[in-house]
């Protein structure tokens, strides 16, 4: 199973929208994927909103067993934190969570930056 984390502007889960902010996003939506199908999701409040400390959010996302992080934007420190934790990052994405996940599953997602965890 693959678990995708998205930085969201609301707590509506797969019916929600991506936040324009990463560290200050109010929620993270975690979408569980099995055999290219959504099999569940979880919405959690961002425990580090407005008080992010170096590496706090990447460690939080890793603790929730995410394989991929999708966000509109992200600072270099967070990006490096995800890379060190083995989590792939897609940035420059906008829109509704369900549309983003469907595009991801079809490998038709438009991103400005794709950073695989294994990239040096």
The domain limits of the chain are 2-115
CATH number of the structural domain 2-115: 3.30.420.130
Query: Quick one: pLDDT at residue 112?
Result: 52
The radius of gyration computed from the CA coordinates of the chain, to the nearest angstrom, equals: 13
pTM of the entire predicted model: 0.90
Cα 66 to Cα 62: distance, rounded to the nearest angstrom: 6
Rounded to the nearest angstrom, the gap between the alpha carbon of residue 54 and the centroid of all alpha carbons in its chain is: 17
- Contact predicate 13/35, CB 8 Å: no
Which of the four pLDDT bands, split at 50, 70 and 90, describes residue 36?
very high
Confidence (pLDDT) at 54: 75
Residue 14 has pLDDT above 70, yes or no: yes
Q: How confident is the model at residue 120 (pLDDT cuts 50, 70, 90)?
A: very low
- Enumerate the β-bridge partners of residue 44: 28
**Alpha-carbon dihedral angle through residues 4, 20, 92, 44, given to the nearest 10 degrees:** -10
């Amino acid at each position: 199973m693959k678990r995708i984390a998205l930085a969201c502007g609301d707590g509506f889960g797969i019916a929600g929208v991506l936040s324009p902010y990463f560290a200050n996003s109010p929620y993270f939506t975690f979408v569980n994927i099995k055999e290219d199908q959504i099999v569940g999701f979880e919405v959690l409040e961002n425990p580090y909103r407005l008080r992010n400390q170096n590496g706090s959010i990447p460690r939080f996302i890793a603790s929730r067993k995410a394989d991929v992080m999708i966000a509109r934007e992200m600072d270099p420190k967070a990006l490096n934190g995800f890379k060190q934790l083995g989590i792939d990052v897609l940035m420059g994405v906008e829109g509704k969570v369900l549309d983003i996940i469907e595009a991801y599953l079809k490998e038709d997602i438009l991103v400005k930056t794709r950073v695989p965890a294994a990239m040096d």
